[in-house]
Homo-oligomer: A and B are copies of this chain.
Amino acid sequence: MKQSQLFTKTRKEAPKDEVSKNAQLLTQAGFVVKEIAGAYNYLPLGLRVLNKISNIIRDEMNKAGSQEIFMTALQDKETWEKTGRWSDDVVDNWFKTQLKNGTELGLGFTHEEVIAKIMSNFVSSYKDLPFSAYQIQTKFRNESRAKSGLMRGREFFMKDLYSFCKDENEHNDFYEKMKDVYMNVFNRLGMGEKTYITISSGGSFSKYSYEFQTLSEAGEDIVYIVDEDKKIAINKEDFNDEILKDFNLSLDKNKLEGHRSIEVGDIYTLGYRFSEAFNLTFKDEEGKEKPVFMGSYGMSPSRLMGAVVELNSDEKGIIWPETVAPFKVHLLSLGAEKQAEEIYNQLQENGIEVLFDDRDKKAGEKFADSDLIGIPYRVVVSEKSLSQGGVELKKRAENDGKIVSINDLVGLLK
């Protein structure tokens, strides 16, 4: 895409009403615009990144055999009364609205109730199990505070997956598999190294559940790493003698240090709570009616986008990992329009995603914008580079570039 045609522009300074690094950088570089605190509009560059993250998640969920669906935001009061979750005393972050005739509706903050109700139409026999379904959809949560940019939203994107098994054993197999599936996603987003499977107390069915926590000063949580090799940590609130004993961890609690971290995913064993409420049952091999054993698995593409920025930036701007960058290459023309245009066409013909800064701007401004936007590879075409034999190729994450011939460029970038 030609930058002269991209309607967004970078800002000279970070927005004053944002305190989080991710919101500051993403706004300054023209990826997002805040609508209200905790709800962001995605501009062309921002939507490209969000879609890449969503597609990585989608790919991993599909590979795990899950089927994609899309559920409504508008929620029926009656449905949620069945599990006692309609009341604002039980769930404190509902957004509620109503039909013209006064019927109350909620805006979905999660979808366990809905999917249990849907599946009760389709599951009847043990032969229908196990399976799972997921969606990537907009969630609404009425948070009192929303100061973490894309990391804690009132309106945000969520991938929520739900599993349906015939018993706890079958569920445990799927649950274990999902731990790997989640780590695959974090690895592809370039944050696997810093991400720990974190034990916390919980949920309604089991004593413990698992979160995924990524070390970052921007995080709202604190975790204690108890096994570096297996990448296991414990949430601060649950870091006590009992949990250490339950997991057979013989270490001195007082010698470990806590680390700030971002919760990037969570997986829950739900058991029978929702299947029993919605009569989601099946006939087993002996013809006996049993409730389905459920699990749920959350992960937010927009929160992950914020987390990626928190983990990958320097004083000049964002440094996108290649897998989620809006473009792979940022091509800057400095007074060599003809040659730059040819290279632009050549890169595009070879399927390389390129943002071409063809604007009539000074070199300093183009360099600053390029660093701020953070595309992984920068290619500069100028009189000087041409006289030296080609173009300057530099990685955003590195300080020094090198001159490469135009003929070699495509091969190097492919």
Contact = CB atoms under 8 A, between A and B. Distances in A.
Contacts of A69: 41-44, 47
B119 A7 contact: yes
A139 to B, nearest CB: 11
A247 interface: no
A259 interface: no
B72 A9 contact: no
A168 interface: no
Interface in A349-389: none
A89 B322 CA distance: 50
A121 B47 CA distance: 18
A17 to B, nearest CB: 14
B97 A70 contact: no
Interface string A111-122: 000100011011
Contact of A35 (B9, B114, B142): B114
B39 A67 contact: no
Contacts of A119: 7
A138 B41 contact: no
Given A118-B33, A138-B138, A50 B70 contact: yes
Given A7-B122, A133-B7, A70 B47 contact: yes
A404 interface: no
A73 interface: yes
Contact of A44 (B39, B68, B98, B99): B68
B131 A72 contact: no
Contacts of A131: 5, 7
A249 interface: no
A380 to B, nearest CB: 23
A81 interface: no
A14 interface: no
Interface in A1-47: 5-9, 30, 33, 35-36, 39-44, 47
B100 A144 contact: yes
A96 interface: yes
Interface centre among A40, A50, A74 (most CB of B within 10 A): A74
Nearest to A137: B138
A403 interface: no
Contacts of A309: none
Contacts of A30: 122
A74 B39 contact: yes
A178 interface: no
Contacts of A154: 74, 99
Given A121-B33, A122-B9, A155 B74 contact: yes
Contacts of A243: none
A105 interface: yes
Interface string A64-93: 010111111111100000000000000000
7 contacts: A8-B122, A41-B118, A47-B68, A50-B70, A73-B138, A99-B154, A101-B144
Interface of A: 5-9, 30, 33, 35-36, 39-44, 47, 50, 65, 67-76, 95-101, 105, 107, 114, 118-119, 121-123, 128, 131, 133, 138, 140, 142, 144, 154-155
